[in-house]
Structure 1
Amino acid sequence: MIEIVPIDTPTLGDRSYFVTDGEVAFVVDPQRDIDRVLALAEERGVRVADVFETHIHNDYVTGGLALARATGAAYHVNSADPVEFEHDAVSDGDVIEVGARMRVRVVATPGHTFTHLAYVLEAPGRAPAVFSGGSLLYGSTGRPDLLGPSHTHELVTAQYGSVQRLARELPDDAEIFPTHGFGSFCSATQSQAEASTIGREKRTNPALTLDEKEYVESLLAGLDAWPAYYAHMGPSNSAGPAAPDLSEPRRADAAELRRRIEAGEWVVDLRTRTAFAAGHMAGSLNFGLDGPMATYLGWLIPWGTPVTLLGETPEDVAEAQRELVRIGIDRPAAAATGGPERWADGEPLASFDRASFDELAAVRHHRPVVVLDVRRVQEWEQSHIEGAVHIPLHELPQRLDEVPDGEVWVHCQGGYRAAVAASLLAAAGRRVVAIDDEYGARAGLPTAAAAV
């Protein structure tokens, strides 16, 4: 019996897949921390024979090469990809026999990238399964604009054709196993589905229910910004990243933490936004482990800036390390555990207030405050509070001087991004209140939609 085991990375919105017939296994699109894959192989007592890459990823550093080297597996990459490491070059129509009972057929599916591939698993006694990477997703497709605006129209057209091809060549009961689409910014839109088939997608997916012109127009209209660290993923993956070093970082004392903050380095507090607002080391920044920490830290940080991690426990620091190596931030400069009193060692702690939208509505009746909206452009265009200043979070570090003078009440859609923004503003010496509330609860505040 064939077993397909998804390996979720929810903080990046991706899935890798471990597939075994009980004797051998293959892996599709492994993340950088390959110990998760090795543990599955050991638990099931099988050998990893093959590793397949659907594309040169834009949103994470692959573990494919490291996994192949660790297991002796063949590493399958599109023959058209200009990679700098030894691999098994594959192209459309190739068939790879994995053990005695599984065969994998290569299907060219350009669109998310020019050289994107899908892999169709064929095995006796079961419907085909397609590992569709960033091509056919649940209710959507991969975004076509990550290679730059000059290629977007060509890629979105190719994406439509690729999805149409999969639907044409595979039976309705074929299962779909995408890499993206679970929160990844590589997805054009998001779906809550956890499983799907070709037949279901024929009924629900815009790439299969709209004509090409309608699909292209609707997809392009829905695209928004993607994380800045994506620019570094393609070159890293093409060069062939090694396995990560997840050993414990060097410990820093309070004096070193202060020196690093004063030098302009990032000292990152991993605690919840509630704990951070109540008291933190002045100048530290809040990227809580309870949210998409790596995505937003990687998006905002000037690439190459040393990062020091502050966690309540060594386990918190280890979790953050694992998240960060997935996007190519390989080694923290240092780390400290415990709490802000230990980290500051006698320095006065900094803090700021948290509030609701109801409290914002009340305070605006009594005194002027700056309302700062740090959501993305499309969120702002759909609805925003009248009189608010709009600076998307990913632009805020470079635009702090554009925030008007006065007390700043900062909000996003649900609170996480507002907390990050509040920590940046507080570190810059601004008086700030973080609105820790859902945007849907803004009943007492007049709103408008942008004219687009």
Structure 2
Amino acid sequence: MFFVDTFEFEGLGNRSYLAGGPHAAVVVDPPRDIDQVIAAAARRGVRIAFVAETHVHNDYVTGGLELARVTGAQYLVPAGAHVSFARTPVADGDTAGVDAGLVLRAIATPGHTPHHTSYVLEEDGRGVAVFTGGSLLIGTVGRPDLVEPRLTEQLARAQYASARRLADELDDEVPVLPTHGFGSFCSSSQAEGDATTIGKERTSNDALTLDVDTFVAQMLAGLEDVPAYYAHMGPANAAGPAPVDLTPPGRADAEEIAARLAAGEWVVDLRSRMAFAEGHVAGSFNFEGEGKLATYLAWLIPWGKPVTLLADTPEQITDAQRELVRVGIDRPAAAATGDPAGWVRQGEQLVSFPRARFADLAQVRERGDEVVVLDVRRDSERVGGYIDGSVHIPIHELHGRVGEVPQGTVWVHCAGGTRAAIAASLLDAAGRDVVAVDDGFDAATDAGLSLISG
């Protein structure tokens, strides 16, 4: 009897898998922090015999090479992937015997990357699960524009063909187990649900219901911005990532925090946006530990810039470290926890800014007060409607464009409050008067604010 264990990484919108039988298993698309995978295999009492990559990932640093080294597993990597380390190259149709009666079969599914490979787990010759990586996702497919702009349309057409090949070769009841698509920017669009089968996708996935030209046109029109840190992930994975060090960083006192800020380093406060707004170290940035910490911090920070982490508890620092190593931010320069009053030097004070709702913004406008409304949502979100007179700078561009924000008190909003909090902290650190709108965008209409259709 086979099993499949799923590892969810909500911050990155990805999953990894441990699958096998009573004695041996394969790990598909492992995370950088491999300790949890090893622990899961130990609980199962199985040996990790194979580590399989569906592709050279663009959105996170893999732990595959290190996992294979530590466990002695064969490292299966698509033959077409250009890598700098020894591995077992996998081509279309290759098989690997995982355990008695369990075989892993490779299916070439180019599209997300030219070398992308899916893996079918077969029990006694019958497909029982398919690991689709960035190929067939839940209701969509992986985006085709992460490799080379000139290849995007060609890869989009390959994605269409690959999805159809999977549907043609596998039975309706076979579970589809993708790596991307749970909020990942590697997905070409967002889809509902967290589980699917070949049969469900056959009736709901655009790649399986539309003609190829319509599918490609819609996909290319719907592609979002690519997070800046993606440019570093592929090369790191091709070179062979180093092992991670998750030991606690050195403790920073108030003097060190001030010195690091003065040196132009980033001091990142992981506390809730409510706590940050009430009182924080001047010049620090707020990236909440809950949510998409790794995605947004790695997207905005100048690559290689030292980071000092501030949090309520050491456990929050530990969790953040684990998140950040997955995107190549390997070691915090320092960290501090506890009472924020201890993070500033004697005689200095924490600073704050107000939070508000869209109803408060409507009242301010009704009074005739001159304020700047800054929308930090993505272009695709703004198309659905925006506040009349608002300035638009997507959150991932704001750090480099703060000087473009008009003078005056800035009321900054996004779709729900998380990105607005990041933006407010960036503006506050730059010396601007800011109000963080912590509200769902639907409330803008309810508040009577005039919306312009995009």
SS of equivalent to 1:140: coil
Q: Does 2:434 correspond to 1:432?
A: yes
SS of equivalent to 1:4: strand
- Residues 16 and 30 in structure 1, CA contact (< 8 A), matched pair in contact too: yes
Deviation at 1:242, TM superposition (A): 2.1
Q: Does 2:449 correspond to 1:445?
A: yes
SS of equivalent to 1:256: helix
Residue type of the alignment partner of 2:424? A
Distance 1:339 1:371 in 2: 33
Structure-1 residue corresponding to 2:350: 349
Q: Does 2:214 correspond to 1:214?
A: yes
Structure-2 residue corresponding to 1:128: 128
Distance 2:51 2:297 in 1: 29
Residue type of the alignment partner of 1:84? S
TM score, norm. by length of structure 2? 0.98
- Residues 127 and 173 in structure 1, CA contact (< 8 A), matched pair in contact too: no
1:396 equivalent among 395, 398, 404:
398
Residue type of the alignment partner of 1:364? R
Distance 1:368 1:224 in 2: 33
In structure 2, relative to structure 1, the CA distance for the partners of 1:125 and 1:79 (3 Å cut) is closer
Which ranges of structure 2 fall in alignment gaps of 5 or more residues? none
1:57-78 deviation per Cα after TM superposition (whole angstroms, max 9, x unaligned): 0110000001001100000001
Higher mean C-alpha displacement, 218-227 vs 46-55 = 218-227
1:20-59 map, 5 Å: 20-59=20-59
1:108-123 map, 5 Å: 108-123=108-123
Residue type of the alignment partner of 1:33? D
SS of equivalent to 1:22: coil
Structure-2 residue corresponding to 1:197: 197
Residue type of the alignment partner of 1:310? L
1:316-395 map, 5 Å: 316-346=316-346, 347-366=348-367, 367-395=369-397
Structure-2 residue corresponding to 1:8: 8
1:378-429 deviation per Cα after TM superposition (whole angstroms, max 9, x unaligned): 1111111010000000000110000000000000000000000000000000
Distance 2:76 2:290 in 1: 35
SS of equivalent to 2:366: coil
Deviation at 1:100, TM superposition (A): 1.9
SS of equivalent to 1:224: coil
Distance 2:110 2:125 in 1: 30
1:51-200 map, 5 Å: 51-124=51-124, 127-200=127-200
Structure-2 residue corresponding to 1:278: 278
Q: How many residues align?
A: 450
1:236-294 deviation per Cα after TM superposition (whole angstroms, max 9, x unaligned): 00011122100010111101100111111100000000000000010110001122111
Residue type of the alignment partner of 1:140? T
Residue type of the alignment partner of 2:281? M
1:148-174 deviation per Cα after TM superposition (whole angstroms, max 9, x unaligned): 321111110111011011111111122
Distance 2:192 2:21 in 1: 29
Deviation at 1:127, TM superposition (A): 4.4
Deviation at 1:365, TM superposition (A): 1.7
Deviation at 1:90, TM superposition (A): 0.8
In structure 2, relative to structure 1, the CA distance for the partners of 1:238 and 1:43 (3 Å cut) is same
Deviation at 1:345, TM superposition (A): 3.5
Distance 2:16 2:75 in 1: 15
Q: Does 2:269 correspond to 1:269?
A: yes
User: What is the RMSD computed on CA atoms of the aligned residues?
Assistant: 1.0
- Residues 127 and 175 in structure 1, CA contact (< 8 A), matched pair in contact too: no
Distance 1:368 1:127 in 2: 64
Deviation at 1:124, TM superposition (A): 2.6
SS of equivalent to 1:76: strand
1:312-338 deviation per Cα after TM superposition (whole angstroms, max 9, x unaligned): 111111111000000000001111111
SS of equivalent to 1:442: helix
- Residues 109 and 115 in structure 1, CA contact (< 8 A), matched pair in contact too: yes
Taking every aligned residue pair, what percent have the same amino acid on both sides?
A: 58
- Residues 34 and 243 in structure 1, CA contact (< 8 A), matched pair in contact too: no
Deviation at 1:126, TM superposition (A): 6.0
- Residues 120 and 127 in structure 2, CA contact (< 8 A), matched pair in contact too: no
1:338-367 deviation per Cα after TM superposition (whole angstroms, max 9, x unaligned): 132011143111100000000001001220
Distance 1:189 1:24 in 2: 35
Distance 1:436 1:188 in 2: 28
